[in-house]
């Protein structure tokens, strides 16, 4: 895979540039939306949910920002990745290039947007009185795992979308359900231990929980938590890679 990326480096770079420019084409603020959009979403969520869920919670806005930051990155990456094959069919049906290049290009584009928002998040932490410690270095782990997880989910969705166009509608409903099941604006402390354990089945909640533990609680998750996160990523990447390998030639017949 690394060798193929090196061989098609120029195409990969051009795809990243194209997707990034396309996202902000004919917009007045351009890249400014990468910062303004999450801020507006955070403002709306804060106004709506602070009164009901975060009235007595310390650093609730940071708590909310953590959840929205991770979920927005995942959602944007998954939605962009889903259409990566379909939108580039005109290229790989004429030129023999690795099809995952288009998905990786989309992921780099969403990663850049996420990086801008992440910088804003850290700035907001300073304003909110969050104390930065050496434990923040551990955030590199969930960041790397989240990138790989998004790639895996993108591989799965883009492959399914080629064969089943209905997946886009089912995914939008699932994404909405996933948002409510990821404890973005509420805590799960009031639930029984068995119910809290069910939340651990949700990979997005794991990423959000990891961030909150480091940033707000200043604690490092257990080794078991790290392994659980790694297992979710391994399943997503493994399944996605298997689907691309198995249906690589069949993609051409459905486009």
Average pLDDT over residues 63-76: 91
- Check residues 136 and 108 and name the one with the higher pLDDT: 136
Residues 6+ apart with CB under 8 A from 233: 145, 148, 149, 152, 203
Average pLDDT over residues 35-62: 66
User: What sign results for the dihedral spanned by CA atoms 77, 178, 212, 195?
Assistant: negative
pLDDT for 252: 66
For Cα atoms 11, 147, 161, give the angle at the middle one, nearest 5 degrees. Answer: 70
CB 207 within 8 A of CB 223: no
Helix (H, G, I), strand (E, B) or coil at 103: helix
In Å, how far are 37, 40, 70 from 34, measured between CA atoms?
A: 6, 11, 14
Average pLDDT over residues 74-95: 79
- Check residues 142 and 56 and name the one with the higher pLDDT: 142
Give the structural domain span for 171.
2-254
Least confident of 47-51, 97-101, 138-142, 199-203: 47-51
Summary mean pLDDT of the chain? 82
Helices (H), 50-87: 60-82
% of the chain beyond a pLDDT of 90 = 36
Average pLDDT over residues 134-143: 95
- Structure tokens, 227: 């392994």
Return d(Cα 51, Cα 146) in angstroms, integer.
Answer: 31
Query: How buried is residue 53: exposed, middle or buried, by Cβ count under 10 Å (0-12/13-18/19+)?
Result: middle
Confidence of residue 57 (pLDDT cuts 50, 70, 90): confident
pLDDT for 108: 86
Least confident of 24-38, 65-79, 108-122, 145-159: 24-38
% of the chain beyond a pLDDT of 70 = 73
Average pLDDT over residues 127-150: 94
Confidence of residue 120 (pLDDT cuts 50, 70, 90): confident
Residues 6+ apart with CB under 8 A from 155: 81, 100, 103, 236, 237, 239, 240, 241, 243, 244
Domain count, the chain: 1
pLDDT at 164 over 60: yes
């Amino acid at each position: 895979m690394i060798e193929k990326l090196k061989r098609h480096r120029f195409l990969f770079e051009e795809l990243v540039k194209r997707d990034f420019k396309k996202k902000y084409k004919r917009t007045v603020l351009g890249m400014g939306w990468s910062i303004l959009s999450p801020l507006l979403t955070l403002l709306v969520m804060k106004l709506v949910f602070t009164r009901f869920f975060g009235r007595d919670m310390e650093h609730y806005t940071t708590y909310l920002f953590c959840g929205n930051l991770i979920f927005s990155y995942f959602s944007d990456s998954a939605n962009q990745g889903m259409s990566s094959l379909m939108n580039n069919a005109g290229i790989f049906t004429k030129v023999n290039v690795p099809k995952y290049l288009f998905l990786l290009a989309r992921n780099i584009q969403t990663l850049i947007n996420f990086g801008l928002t992440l910088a804003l998040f850290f700035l907001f932490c300073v304003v909110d009185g969050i104390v930065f410690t050496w434990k923040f270095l551990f955030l590199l782990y969930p960041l790397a795992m989240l990138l790989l997880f998004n790639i895996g989910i993108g591989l799965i969705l883009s492959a399914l979308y080629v064969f089943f166009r209905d997946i886009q509608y089912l995914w939008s409903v699932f994404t909405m359900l996933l948002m409510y099941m990821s404890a973005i604006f509420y805590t799960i402390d009031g639930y029984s231990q068995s119910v809290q354990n069910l939340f651990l089945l949700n990979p997005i909640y794991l990423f959000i929980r990891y961030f909150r533990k480091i940033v707000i609680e200043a604690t490092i998750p257990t080794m078991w938590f790290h392994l659980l996160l790694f297992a979710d990523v391994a399943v997503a990447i493994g399944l996605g890679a298997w689907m691309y390998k198995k249906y690589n030639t069949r993609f051409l017949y459905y486009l």
